[in-house]
Every structure is written in structure tokens, then in C-alpha cells.
Amino acid sequence: MKNTSTEIKEEDLSPQEIAEATESTTDVSKCPTCGANLVYSPTDKTLMCEYCGYSKKIDFTNLGEEKSFSELLKTDNSWAEDARVFVCNNCGARQVLSKNEISVKCSFCGTTNVVEKNDILGLKPNALLPFLLDSAAAGNHARTWAKKRWLAPRSFKKSVNPENIHGNYIPAFTFDSLIKTHYEGRLGKDHTVTVRVNGKTVTRTETKWFHVSGYFEHFFNDVLIQASDSISQKSINKISPFDTDHSQQYKNEFLHGFTASQYSKDGETCWKEAKGVMQNATRNMILSKYDYDRVDYLNFPMSYEAITYKYLLLPIYVGHFNFRQKLYNFFVNGQNGKVTGKTPLSPLRVGLLVLLGLVAAAGIVALIIINGGF
């Protein structure tokens, strides 16, 4: 008996049938109905087509997993499989895009002077915090923040709008570790005493010193260290917290319509910074057990056990403003809307503030003279 088969041509299928067939076999980056690029929608948590309205659900059930510290030391260039590096010739920012997208504008300075580089991307993120706010919501948070910058020029406040804000994933490492230490130190508690000196009563402060020692352990969860030159750790801390406990497993889909920054600090460098954070926190936790006013010394050699890490991407909207040939960036947390950044100073407003201060000082001096103070 002869086998027969019927060939089904694409033109015989409906748009919905094409979409379903495509979803089952590929990681969709192009709209199956009109061919346009799909972008990640923070409000709908889907990949969507801005032209025809097609949407594809994204699975949010796969959480980012902790990885053994030994994995951090391996040479890995796996991110190059699905991403490319673009460098801004104006400000030097290095951005990572999906291989299906083309960078047309720098997130940090807004210029189009962006070129592709054949750089080694390095370690592929194993986790990601998706954007939950769209650019319109981020713009609203940024405008509220900008209005409170009284010394900033009016032109800066007018520039804070969604058109000048772009979503960018910032690379970071989080570290978990159980720390243990046997500590010992010398603390002091101040008290006042009244004594007679040359026939006069004098009150002075004396310190009673006492020794402390003991055992202390603490589990640190997700100590967050940024890994990019594009934003400082101080700025990251100001717009924290980031819900790293509920990070998603990295998927290229989340980058559609967004860019990412390339890391400039590797995992080992970030681990050294994380240990510094843990040491400062451990010192404070030990000292909080005691009533003291002064620290002579405190020794607490620490051991680190059960070390794990996540290399993840943080969702941050980046705004830019040029004032007197200087670039100013501000940053919006793409999940909670917190804003931070440096703003230019308006010479006119600063001058007015100084003038008001001088007028107030002159008024105080006049009152003193009138009341016979001089």
C-alpha cells in the first residue's frame, strides 16, 4: 500500500493557527501575524506586538536559582549565544541587546552614535527581575521627583518625560553566605563625675572600659552588588529594595524592547565587595548586643560557608539630561518607582537662595543692633 501525505501551506492557515504553531516550536521575537518585533509589556507581563495587538504569555513560574560559588570561577561566554554588545561613541556606555534587535539610541545620553562591537559578553545571567512599570508610570514617578528639585533649572524639569527615559537592565550579583566568628574586643561606657580642681567644682567625662567576647553567626541572604560602571552602588541602594527573592529565571524574552548593560566587574570582584558589606553588618550586629559609647577595638575573624550567588539583571529606567555640556542621569526602579540621580543647578535659583540668605542674615544683625546687642 502506498503512503500519501498532504502538504499544508502557510497561506492555508489562519493567523491564529500560524501563531500557535510558531509558539510551540520557537522562541518568538517576531510577530507571527504581521512580522513586527515583539516587545515585553511590563503591565500585561506578555510579549506583545505594538502594531497588530498580538500577544504571547510569558511563564513567570520559573524562579531564578542560587548557584554554587564554584560556578562563579569558571570561564564562560555563554551570553554571546543570544545577545550582542553595542557601544555609545558619545558617552562610552556599553549596552547588550537581543540578537534580533538593533540599538538606535543610547539609554544614558540619548544619542544615536551607537555601534556594534565584537566584544566578549562573558557570563550569561541566570536570573532577572522583570520590569513591572511601563515608561509612562516611570515618567510619572520621575516628574514627581524632579518637581522637588527646587534648585534645578526649569528646562530639566520639562525634560523629564517618557520620551527621555529608557528601560535598561543593570547587571548585579547577589550572594548568600553563612558567616561564623569568635569575637573579642574592648568597649567603653562614658559617665560624668564631679571633682574639685584647685578649689573649684569641675564636671568631666570618664570612660569605664570592659572586655567583650563570644560566638556569633548569621546567614546573609542576597547581598546585592552592582556590576556596572553605568550606575553607582550608592544609587542602587537609594532605589532599593529589589525583590531578589522572586527573581525570574533569565529569558531572552524579557529583553525584547529593552537593553541591558554589560558588566564591568566580574563575580570575584563583586564577591570581595559583598564580603566588605557582610563584615560591616556583622560588626554592627555584634556591637548592638552591648551598651557602649566607645570602641577601643573589636576583632572578629569571619568564616564564610554555604556560599551561593545569582548573576541577575535589575530593571532600571534611565533618564538623561544635558546641561552646559555636562550629562546628568537619573534612575527609576522599574518595579517600585523609587527615583534617584544628580540634577544640574540653576545659577539663577542658586543666586536667589544666596540673596535670601544674605537678606535674612542682615535682618538678624539689624535686630541685634536695635536691641542693643552690640
The ranges assigned to domains in the chain are 15-58, 59-184+212-343
Provide CB contacts within 8 A for 156, sequence distance 6+: 146, 149, 321, 323, 328, 343, 344
Provide CB contacts within 8 A for 304, sequence distance 6+: 177, 178, 179, 275, 278
pTM: 0.79
What is the pLDDT tens value at each position of the chain, 374 positions in all? 444 433 434 344 444 443 343 333 334 478 888 988 889 999 999 999 988 989 999 988 899 999 998 888 776 666 777 777 888 888 888 888 776 666 567 888 887 778 877 666 677 899 999 999 999 999 999 989 888 877 777 777 777 777 778 999 999 999 999 999 999 999 999 998 888 878 788 888 889 999 999 999 999 999 999 998 889 999 999 999 999 999 999 988 898 889 888 888 889 999 999 999 999 999 999 999 999 999 999 999 999 999 999 999 999 999 888 777 778 889 999 999 999 988 776 555 555 555 566 666 666 656 666 666 55
DSSP 114-152: EEEE-----SPPSEE----S-HHHHHHHHHHHHHT-TTS
Type of residue numbered 224: L
Provide CB contacts within 8 A for 262, sequence distance 6+: 85, 94, 95, 96, 119, 121, 122, 171, 228
Q: Which residue has the cell 566587574?
A: 265
Half-sphere exposure of residue 108: CA atoms within 13 angstroms, side-chain side: 21
C-alpha 263/C-alpha 230 separation (Å) is: 9
pLDDT, position 183: 98
Report the SS3 class of residue 349. Answer: helix
C-alpha 254/C-alpha 258 separation (Å) is: 8
Contacts within 8 Å (CB) and 24+ apart, 348-353 = 348/153, 349/150, 349/151, 349/152, 349/153, 350/151, 353/151
- Cα 85 to Cα 34, 98, 121, 165, 322: the distances in Å are 28, 9, 7, 20, 25
Q: Cell numbers for 145, please give them.
A: 521627583
Other beta carbons less than 10 A from residue 70's beta carbon:
8
Helical residues (DSSP H) of the chain, grouped into ranges: 15-25, 69-72, 135-147, 154-159, 233-238, 267-287, 347-370
